[in-house]
Amino acid sequence: MKNHYQQTRFLLGTPDLRSAPADTGAEIAFAGRSNAGKSSALNVITSQRSLARISKAPGRTREINFFSVKDNLRLVDLPGYGYAKVSKSMQKQWQQHIARYLETRQSLVGVFLLMDIRHPLKEFDQLVLRWCCAAGLQTHVLLTKADKLKRGAAKAALLQVRRQLQVLHPGSSLQLFSALTRDGTDAAREKLDDWLGITAEDLTDSAVE
Ligand code: GDP
């Protein structure tokens, strides 16, 4: 399967939305608790070794980081939530920025919510699902680090989370993902392609460019 995300590059980071890129085109946000595997997933999906390292640089971790896939199509790395070294009041502030972003961003077409398959649907995850539901945003869940469980256990976890999602955010979708084995990468890219409206024709265009 063709990967449309190889040319993805860092655009800018901003703590609130003041210096965000123009709110036009389409973008997909990646949300998750710290350590959920968000950076690893972004790197694997874009086939870049250190794209998301930028988001981890000191000072950038609390920013909303924008990446350009191609003209007016973006991936957005939201601040990871739950990092122990950050004060409660700081976390509260990030929460507000994330909530505001999800509620107001016109070009946002959907949210990828990443959760460690062994610790799904923690408080923050449920909060994000509620915000997405309220904002009418489609949501796709990646159950990350699927390699940490045996196949049967991973499948059972998937079914369990699927049941809970049907209550928390009906209509949302989910899949297993592993940055280590790369399982689920094609499925994740297909979902991104679908939401961003990237088709085989776009592929021909970029091949010609
Ligand atoms: P982030 O804080 O959400 O950006 O998480 P990272 O991508 O930095 O990953 C957190 C930790 O989990 C790191 O030690 C990664 O090596 C590890 N990790 C991430 N994805 C996977 C995975 O698919 N499988 C395994 N086994 N470990 C992973």
SS3 15: coil
Q: For residue range 66-94, list pLDDT tens digits in order.
A: 999 999 999 999 988 876 667 888 888 88
Q: For residue range 52-63, list pLDDT tens digits in order.
A: 877 777 767 788
pLDDT in the model for residue 94? 83
- Asked if residue 3 is part of any domain, the answer here is no
User: Which residues span the domain enclosing 19?
Assistant: 9-208
pLDDT in the model for residue 202? 64
Nearest CA to ligand 1 atom 27: 145
The CATH number of residue 15's host domain is: 3.40.50.300
- For the chain, how many structural domains are there in total? 1
Q: Please, what sign has the CA dihedral across residues 43, 48, 50, 54?
A: negative
Task: For the chain, give the percent of residues with pLDDT over 70.
Answer: 93
- Asked if residue 192 is part of any domain, the answer here is yes
Q: Confirm if 43 and 75 have CB atoms less than 8 A apart.
A: no
Closest to 62 measured CA to CA, from 97, 19, 15: 15
Does the beta carbon of 7 sit less than 6 angstroms from any atom of ligand 1?
A: no
- Asked if residue 136 is part of any domain, the answer here is yes
- Asked if residue 129 is part of any domain, the answer here is yes
- Asked if residue 4 is part of any domain, the answer here is no
- Asked if residue 189 is part of any domain, the answer here is yes
- CA 113/CA 111 separation, integer angstroms: 6
- Asked if residue 52 is part of any domain, the answer here is yes
Does the beta carbon of 80 sit less than 6 angstroms from any atom of ligand 1?
A: yes
